[in-house]
Amino acid sequence: MSASSRPPLRIERIVGPLGAVISLPGSKSLTNRALVCAALASGTSELQGALIADDTMAMIDGLRAMGVDIDVDRTTVVVDGTAGLIAATAATVDARLSGTTSRFLMAVAGLGVGPTIIDGAAPLRSRPMLDGISGLRSAGLTVTDTDGSLPVAVSGHTAWTPELVVSASASSQFLSGLLLAAPALDDGLAISVEGELRSHPYVEMTVAVMRAFGAEVATNPSGGWTIAPGGYRSTSYLIEPDASAASYFFAAAAVCGGWVRVEGLGSESLQGDLRFVDVLESMGAEVLRSESSVEVRGNGVLHGVVVDMADISDTAPTLAAVAPCAASPTTATGIGFIRAKETDRIGSVLAELRRAGVSADELDDGWTISPGAVSPAVIETYDDHRIAMSFTVLGLRFGGLQIADPAVVDKTFPEFFEVVEQMRHDSLMGASTSDVGGAGVVAIDGPAGSGKSTVARLVADQLGKGYLDTGAMYRAVTWKALDSDLDLADHEELGRLAERSVIELGLGGLVRVDGIDVTSAIRSAAVNEAVSVVAAVSSVRTVMRERQRQWMAGHGGGVVEGRDIGTVVFPDAELKVFLTASPLARAERRATERGQLAVSEADPDTMPSERALSERVEIERVEIERVAEELLRRDQLDSNRADSPLRSAEDSLVLDTTDLSINQVVDAITSAVADRQSMRRAEADGDVGA
């Protein structure tokens, strides 16, 4: 079904705060720049994490038409470089709707004899190309155009005029195209800009990618760049998640409340559009930045701002979706040039806001949008992916909006709506878990040998709640990994295995993995030895935490024990308990447990005498000090691990069980649960704080 024939997609309102880690496709801007550099390089390059969407496939197919061999396998792209020998014969490039493809390859075509025809779909034919055409003619190339628009025919060579002064008033993409082609020239290129440079961060990104492929680019003190000849060298290049795509999810957190974190998009990102989070921060959202991730938290209170969006213009429609949710008007300036994007992104965005009942005023170089509720409406997208994705944010906040042309997102983010629904699912699971946790979860944490498992089972029995054996879950994954001969050092594959494994916890400690009863198998020596390795893998822990929350939501609460239950998995638990004991006491318990296991598993006809059992325990006591030392080392490892370190939650009931019996510990916990239930009843009756 074509985009135009698909029915409108209704965007349902998010109920409750967000809480999700978002996985995003690779950056379109980085993918297309890396593709050009790899195509012009000597040797074979591998691009990892590449975006595969309409815009990047337009670039891939365009380079193929110009003689480049490119292989695509999911998000990995292998490019056999041409050492700059491109478009040696006549070629036609269909850039579809991709501005970057048309403008980059127009310059790249200038390296080949051609002629190369650059063309595209009707909306792209209406976009301005004159700056690029003029730049190529200034370089001494033959260019035939259609009134400054596509289609354009370029015949070139590698002996360009060594110095160029170009205009980038309409788009920085023309400048980026010339920069990308320059290392393949006989004498290199010195290039400067006449007038105002739009979207400077995108040019900085271009230079950074060029340098990653070995190009020598010097920034001139007076402005402009000098690119040395010598070409590019092949490389393996990792593409970070798309910051423009991330803007919609960051905006959703700001307007819906809660939090959204994007992994792999850190504070050192090459993408200027990540600065959109600075705008959200200035409006009142909280932003947490690290080298490997960015997280936005919304508290339900936003205020309007006046902001120049010239350098991050692709996120201007996202800001337009945030603006109605602020307490005062928001003004965006510096973006008059976005009228010549896929559509007039000023006029079209404001028309759709007004269609939804939002008051907005158009400025010469931007807009002012007033706060207000949003009315139900069918949003037209004008063949513009960013309008579809931006107004989805507004729909998540207010509901009642429909996107008339949902398939338009295929241009840069084919899985956009699937990721939105995954965010909704993860947030709903977190919300339902939080609700259950506030009323029914007892979380028991503590170091190895502190008695967590025994105590948790008995507390569950006393309270009439279910018991969630998290240890069995990790053991089940470990058994599956060993049974599959999986390399335990392959953390990525371990995470995938955990995600696809179906783990069932039944009555009486029954454990099944993918329908196989592994109740006894998960207690084997091999699993015992490997489980600590598997359980330390971050991707495995992420999957298990979600499974634990799902179990608790499905059972209406319960008792659960582990090492990060109260701090990470159920931070809103009704009661958080942290059990501890001296290393010596914990070591003695381990020895006693082994002795009891020997008795329980013995054949009654050959059961050892009481004296023999006593001697066995004595022999084990020789090992107690060694076990105590091992437990201390384990405590140190657990406390310092990167993912969910062992620690007591601030509001935990801390019980030192060194000198307490099991029954005393169980009584203390069940009494604490009763006290909290009484407190809640008193609060409900209005007896507290009266």
CB 204 within 8 A of CB 179: no
Q: Which residue from 12, 25, 2, 10 is spatially nearest to 419, judged by alpha carbons? A: 25
CB 91 within 8 A of CB 61: no
Radius of gyration of the chain (CA): 31
Q: Which residue from 448, 455, 686 is spatially nearest to 563, judged by alpha carbons? A: 448
Please report, as a single letter, which amino acid is at residue 426: D
Burial of residue 506 (CB within 10 Å: 0-12, 13-18, 19+) is: exposed
Strands (E), 500-605: 503-505, 511-513, 516-517, 558-562, 575-580
CA distances from 421 to 295, 376, 413 (A): 19, 20, 14
Q: What does the longest C-alpha to C-alpha distance in the chain come to? A: 103
Catalytic entry in 94, 311, 314, 638:
314
Please report, as a single letter, which amino acid is at residue 620: E
SS3 content of the chain, % helix, strand, coil (to 5): 50, 20, 30
How far, in Å, CA of 341 to CA of 143, rounded? 23
Is residue 314 part of the annotated active site? The answer reads yes
Residue 86 corresponds to which tokens in the numbers above?
A: 């491109």
CB 66 within 8 A of CB 91: yes
Please report, as a single letter, which amino acid is at residue 285: A
How far, in Å, CA of 636 to CA of 654, rounded? 19
One DSSP character per residue, 321-358 reads: HHGGGSSS-EEEES-GGGGGSSS-TTHHHHHHHHHTT-
| Positions marked active-site | 314
